[in-house]
Amino acid sequence: GEDVEQSLFLSVREGDSSVINCTYTDSSSTYLYWYKQEPGAGLQLLTYIFSNMDMKQDQRLTVLLNKKDKHLSLRIADTQTGDSAIYFCAEEGESGYSTLTFGKGTMLLVSP
Amino acid sequence: NAGVMQNPRHLVRRRGQEARLRCSPMKGHSHVYWYRQLPEEGLKFMVYLQKENIIDESGMPKERFSAEFPKEGPSILRIQQVVRGDSAAYFCASSPLLPGQGSGNTIYFGEGSWLTVV
């Protein structure tokens, strides 16, 4: 079955880069997503990557995809205290109707 | 263009009561998904609906949970005879696409409904 794994916690200092990692098992994944969730709030789509891409950059965010190893990472450059949140990795399979499998989330804590 | 609207945002129910959670998809979206987030967990898929049809309910608990998406009005997630283990955040998402078309970034989530069972 499908499974998405993430490390649970990451702590960085303001201004440093953050790298959040994710592994998945479904080789038929079509799209992979990164969502951000602040306490008591909904999910904010940060970025996504199609499975035939290796890298995608969007301002401070860089997504790297290693399809062979089924490894996805999210790099946040110049991390700010406002980036403190839980980050979820999610994959979309080939079902064709957009159901997502989420990891348990990585809590990013940015200290001044 | 309003986003996915969920209400209530917070709901408290006593054990044994019923909970009804509502979701209005984005304008023009006819595909609705419900996900549940248990404390300190990721989101788990529950059910996928199109207007008047349940397409995939493989993530729904077998008892007490039901969902509908009528021709008119919002989608409803209904939980009968709630128990403490139902306490969670319930997220609705919508998309405009037909099956087989893939999605990319066109899945939009609501702000969630936080259910607390006391």
pLDDT, tens only, A85-105: 999 999 887 665 668 889 999
Report which residue type is found at B69. Answer: F
Percentage of chain A with pLDDT > 70?
A: 94
Count of positions (residues) in chain B: 118
Give the pLDDT score at B110. 92
Residue of A nearest to B113 (CA): A42
- B7 has a chain A CB within 8 A of its CB: no
Q: What is the mean pLDDT of residues A27-56?
A: 87
Rounded Cα distance between A97 and B69, Å, is: 16
What pLDDT score does A98 carry?
66
Q: Could you give the CA distance from residue A87 to residue B19 in angstroms, rounded to a whole number?
A: 29
How many other β-carbons are positioned within 10 Å of the β-carbon of residue A54? Answer: 10
Distance to chain A for B16, nearest Cα, Å: 25
- CB of A100 within 8 Å of a chain B CB? The answer is yes
Of B45, B91, B103, the CB nearest to A42: B91
Question: Could you tell me the two tokens for A102?
Answer: 């989420």
Q: Which residues of B touch A90 (CB under 8 A)?
A: 42-43
Show Cβ contacts of residue B65 under 8 Å, excluding neighbours closer than 6 positions. B46, B77, B78, B79, B80
Per-residue pLDDT in tens (0 to 9) along chain B, 118 residues: 568 999 999 999 999 999 999 999 998 888 899 999 998 788 999 999 998 899 999 999 999 999 999 999 999 999 999 999 999 999 999 988 654 455 555 788 899 999 999 9
State residue B63's pLDDT score: 95
pLDDT tens for each residue of A2-25: 689 999 999 999 999 999 999 998
DSSP secondary structure string for all residues of A48-72: EEETT-SEEEETTEEEEEETTTTEE
Is B44 in the A-facing interface, judged by CB distances under 8 Å?
yes
CA dihedral for B95, B20, B57, A34, sign (positive or negative): positive
| Closest to A66 measured CA to CA, from A47, A75, A53, A48 | A53
| pLDDT for A1 beyond 60 | no
Q: What pLDDT score does A94 carry?
A: 65
List pLDDT tens digits, range A50-73.
Answer: 888 899 999 999 999 999 999 999
- Position B97 scores a pLDDT of 67
Inter-residue contact A60 to A76 (CB < 8 Å) = yes
